[in-house]
Amino acid sequence: MKDQLELFYGYLFEPELLLEIERVGILKEIKQGEQLLEIGDTMSVMPLLLDGAIKILREDEKGDELLLYFIEQGDTCAMTFSCCIGNKKSEIRAIAETDTNLILIPIQYLDSWMANYKSWQKFVLESYHTRVVELLETVDTLAFMRMDERLLKHLQDKAKVIHNDVIQTTHQDIAYDLHTSRVVISRLLKKLEQEGKIRLQRNQIKLIAL
């Protein structure tokens, strides 16, 4: 854990803080598809991503999902702060998009770190800021883009977080993420394939000209 911590966070945190993290942090590996957090859960730890990616979902009354954004290496779950501090329940669901390694920090340390470590304060504020920006981007996407554009963006985002142009997924899964029906996704994907932008196979989409 020490090596990874220094590799990914060494330039961000002062040495004393790194030691603290090392002391109290719990290293955890999460397999793809595993759920980290369910709506209504209370937070007891704050995650620091080492590698991998996590998708953050919202859910409507009917239990249908909508993807909000991905969390990647160097990110943390911004929701955690607002939840931990007020001891509130989670508004979102978190599922591992890929196999993911992360460090869990018990929330009782957050307050004192906030007060004692300038680098921590900065990190928290900045990741909060990037979360808001990403969320705004998601709102824009939802409000102003048509489904074909949203699909394209989603494929690009997905390829980015897994660092691979070949996405293993089903049309149905994409439909869930974008909160639409499988039929719509199938048709749009078909169109993209005809335009030569992607190649389709069962359970697999290969991005070409994106």
Contact residues toward DNA (CB under 7 A) are 146-148, 170-172, 179-184, 186-190, 200-203
Alpha-carbon span 117 to 33, nearest angstrom: 34
Residue 96 CB coordination number (10 Å): 19
Q: Closer to DNA at the Cβ: 105 or 188?
A: 188
Smallest gap from residue 50 Cβ to DNA (A): 30
| Nearer to DNA (CB atom), residue 87 or residue 201 | 201
In the complex, what is the shortest distance from the CB of residue 124 to DNA, in angstroms, rounded to a whole number? 36
CA 62 from centroid of its chain's CA atoms = 23
Nearer to DNA, 22 or 59 (CB): 59
DSSP state of 109: G
Q: How far is the CB of 134 from DNA (least distance, A)?
A: 22
Integer CA distances (angstroms), 76 to 11, 150, 176, in order = 16, 25, 24
User: For DNA, which is the closer residue by CB, 131 or 158?
Assistant: 158
Name the minimum Å distance from CB 182 to DNA.
7
Is residue 146 classed as helix, strand or coil in its secondary structure?
coil
Min dist. Cβ of residue 153 to DNA (A): 13
**Closer residue to DNA (CB): 5 or 189:** 189
Q: What is the DSSP string of 42-94?
A: BP-EEEEEEES-EEEEEE-TTS-EEEEEEE-TT-B-HHHHHHHHHTPBPSSEE
